[in-house]
Amino acid sequence: MHRVTNRKWWKEGVVYQIYPRSFQDSTGNGIGDLRGIVERLDYIKSLGIDIIWLNPVYASPNDDNGYDIADYRGIMPEFGTMEDFDLLLAGIRERGLKLVMDLVVNHSSDEHNWFLESRKSRNSAYRDYYHWWPAEKGTPPKRWSYFDVEGDAWNYDERTDAYYLHSFSEKQPDLKWENPKVRKEVYDIMKFWFDKGVDGFRMDVISFISKDTDYPELPSEYEGDFVSFYSNGPKLHEYLHEMHTEVLDRYDVMTVGEAPGIGLDKALDFVDEDRKELNMFFHFDLMALDREEKEVFLMRKDKWKLSEFKKIHSDWDAAFAQKGWGSMFLNNHDFPRSVSRWGDDSEANWHHSATMLQTFLLTMRGTPYFYYGEEIGMTNIEFDRISEYRDINTLNRYQTLKREGGDLEAFLLNEKDASRDNARTPMQWDGSKNAGFSKQRPWLRVNGNHTNGINVASQENDPNSVLNHFRKMVHIRKQHLGLIYGSYRLLQQNNEDIYAYTRTLDRERYLVILGFTDKKSTIVLGEIEFDRADLLISNDGHRAHTGGNVFELMPYQACVYVLR
Ligand code: NOJ
């Protein structure tokens, strides 16, 4: 009998994230769409995953690729119609899969009707849906904005002689959660989608929703760190709890918050079951590992260390050892491709490092999130010229730097590793022109390596491909409850070549050994006892267990054993 009591589908499921603009174009306009996803549902099912997370598909002027929503109940015409959405949802259900949508409610688009009304007059019924600062009070206290060319989160609006707040671009005004009408609107939107049959939400920058509406000067403890300030709003948990009571409690759905600025010390405030807020959230500790301190877009000069990587994951595992539940991801639409970032995408090491990283995510506790293309080892594109980029983040930071007379060459070099567009290039279905993504020129250039084995068609029938390793590994996780719920124990924290750990559930015990180096490496696991180590899976034919407690790995080799 297993001791696992609080079993949940969203703990046992594997998530597959789809960036709709880049997945499959069915109309031939170079932009992915909903019918394109419908065409690929059998493929998605064949991966063995359980839950699809769809980035925003709502009506939007696309200042930030759908993260600026003009109609929360409407579908973006480029992506299709509500009929297409219903078709997609039905196809997902038919295959026994679940669908999680993006909920973007820290801000709307400035083209949302609420904002159009709000900015018309100070007396508008919608005035208080957004954060306004009347100009007669002087310049508002400094707030920093992610995508503003001047880095200023307050935008002056002549019509009513006032400033509005936008933590992201000036076309993404922040909604005022302090207004109960706004909260009611959000809850109604959520119910609308749940009543349609959607299974949950990934909540965009949910940690930012609560603001001190006295708009004080930035308190000194937050100097240089707006993100922590933004994520520490006074009523954040009151709102999340209210959302739970008003909406979430009534449905069997999953929630995962995107939570920049939230560290280990606050983790359980979000996901302790007794608090009735969220199921999971994404922290940013790993995403910050190879970046300059507090500069999430700047690559750090020295290389990250494996011991640091292990510490992040071990600490977060410990945070949820008794309560709550974690979420595991190595990349998404905001960060570069995992194999290029945490592995090695050179020809020699691409296959092994991609499959090693898959093995890692699928043997850790916490729900694993994969990003489209990760299953075939898609890599960073590394654009050379600014004209190739489409992302507002890269484009606007380039503008800022240009104005300031900064080093544009250094900037472009940094973006080769850091840019979000690295992860947004079209899905590589085959080796043909445009990689089977579209008949027309795609909205963002296809990575040339789709002709070189990094595509679904050429990996489909190769039993040793990255794609088929992914399928096998997903299957293995599903077959072994201990890999999902088992307790995690890190072995040899300071080993900079190998990440080794055990997972234990009652009498089930697994040993995971991951080579994080392009050289052969050896580990002697003196601290654990076992009679036999039966190999469950390896990404290399080389027999790593040479006897006793000694394991010798090929570069980037990954092995999972059952210990007896
Ligand atoms: C986080 C999203 O993941 C990102 O793509 C977006 O630009 C910002 N939030 C603003 O919505």
pLDDT bin (cut points 50, 70, 90) of residue 56 is very high
For residue 291, report the distance from its CA to the centre of ligand 1, in Å: 18
421 is catalytic: no
Among left, alpha and beta (phi > 0; psi -120 to 50; other), residue 355 is alpha
391 lines ligand 1 (CB under 6 A): no
Tokens 């090695």 correspond to: 344
Q: How far apart are CA 280 and CA 254, in angstroms?
A: 8
Say how many C-beta atoms besides its own lie within 10 A of residue 545's C-beta: 18
Residue nearest to atom 4 of ligand 1 (CA): 334
Q: What are phi and psi of 40, to 5 degrees?
A: -105, 10
pTM over the 0.95 mark: yes
Residue nearest to atom 8 of ligand 1 (CA): 67
DSSP, res 163: E
SS3 139: coil
Check pLDDT > 80 for residue 4: no
pLDDT bin (cut points 50, 70, 90) of residue 2 is low
pLDDT of residue 329: 98
pLDDT bin (cut points 50, 70, 90) of residue 5 is confident
3-state secondary structure 200-251: EEEECCHHHCCCCCCCCCCCHHHCCCHHHHHCCCCCHHHHHHHHHHHCHHHC
Burial of 430 (0-12, 13-18, 19+ CB in 10 A): middle
Helices 236-246 and 180-196 cross at an angle (nearest 10°) of: 40
In 3D, which of 530, 477, 442, 550 has the Cα closest to residue 30? 442
Q: What angle do CA 468, 471, 477 make, to 5 degrees?
A: 140
Average pLDDT over residues 551-562: 98
Share of the chain above pLDDT 70, in %: 99
pLDDT bin (cut points 50, 70, 90) of residue 1 is very low
Task: Give the tens place of pLDDT for each residue, 399-419.
Answer: 999 999 999 999 999 999 999
Q: Residues 6 or more apart from 480 whose CB is under 8 A from it?
A: 508, 510, 536
Task: Give the tens place of pLDDT for each residue, 81-111.
Answer: 999 999 999 999 999 999 999 999 999 999 9
64 lines ligand 1 (CB under 6 A): yes
Check pLDDT > 60 for residue 157: yes
Full DSSP string of 413-452: HHHHHH-GGGGTSPP--SSSGGGGT-SS--SSPPPGGGGT
For residue 333, report the distance from its CA to the centre of ligand 1, in Å: 9
Q: How far apart are CA 491 and CA 501, in angstroms?
A: 5
For residue 424, report the distance from its CA to the centre of ligand 1, in Å: 13
Say how many C-beta atoms besides its own lie within 10 A of residue 48's C-beta: 18
In 3D, which of 334, 447, 443, 440 has the Cα closest to residue 394? 334
Q: Which of 258, 317, 345, 391 is labelled catalytic? A: 258
Average pLDDT over residues 189-198: 98
Using most ligand atoms within 8 A of CB, pick from 108, 204, 369 the residue to mutate for ligand 1.
Answer: 204
104 lines ligand 1 (CB under 6 A): yes
Q: Residues 6 or more apart from 257 whose CB is under 8 A from it?
A: 202, 203, 206, 207, 240, 270, 278, 280, 281, 282
**Averaged confidence pLDDT in the chain:** 97
Q: Which two tokens stand for residue 388?
A: 């190739």
pLDDT of residue 335: 98
168 lines ligand 1 (CB under 6 A): yes
Full DSSP string of 190-201: HHHHHHHT--EE
Evaluated on CA atoms 8, 13, 19, 20, the torsion sign reads negative
For residue 457, report the distance from its CA to the centre of ligand 1, in Å: 32
For residue 392, report the distance from its CA to the centre of ligand 1, in Å: 11
Q: Residues 6 or more apart from 525 whose CB is under 8 A from it?
A: 491, 492, 500, 511, 549, 550, 551
Contact between residue 43 and residue 34 where contact means Cβ atoms under 8 Å apart: no
**Side-chain-facing half-sphere of 253: CA atoms under 13 Å:** 29
Q: How far apart are CA 281 and CA 262, in angstroms?
A: 9
Q: Which of 64, 84, 178, 204 is labelled catalytic? A: 204
258 is catalytic: yes
Task: Give the tens place of pLDDT for each residue, 287-335.
Answer: 999 999 989 999 999 999 999 999 999 999 999 999 999 999 999 999 9
Average pLDDT over residues 216-242: 96
Q: What are phi and psi of 163, to 5 degrees?
A: -105, 145
Full DSSP string of 32-92: --HHHHHHTHHHHHHTT--EEEEPP-EE---TTTTSS-SEEEEE-TTT--HHHHHHHHHHH
Contact between residue 320 and residue 273 where contact means Cβ atoms under 8 Å apart: no
Tokens 């992860």 correspond to: 423
Residue nearest to atom 2 of ligand 1 (CA): 204
Average pLDDT over residues 51-76: 98
Q: Which two tokens stand for residue 187?
A: 């809850």
Q: Which two tokens stand for residue 3?
A: 């001791």
Q: Kind and range of the H or E element at 189?
A: helix 180-196
pLDDT of residue 294: 87
205 lines ligand 1 (CB under 6 A): yes
Task: Give the tens place of pLDDT for each residue, 35-55.
Answer: 999 999 999 999 999 999 999
Q: What are phi and psi of 128, to 5 degrees?
A: -85, 15
Q: How far apart are CA 255 and CA 407, in angstroms?
A: 41
Residue nearest to atom 5 of ligand 1 (CA): 334
Give residue 500's identity as a one-letter amino acid code.
A
Task: Give the tens place of pLDDT for each residue, 446-476.
Answer: 999 999 999 999 999 999 999 999 999 999 9
Average pLDDT over residues 478-505: 98
For residue 61, report the distance from its CA to the centre of ligand 1, in Å: 15
Q: Which two tokens stand for residue 530?
A: 């076992």
Q: Which atom of ligand 1 is nearest to the CA of 104?
A: 11
Q: How far apart are CA 434 and CA 452, in angstroms?
A: 13
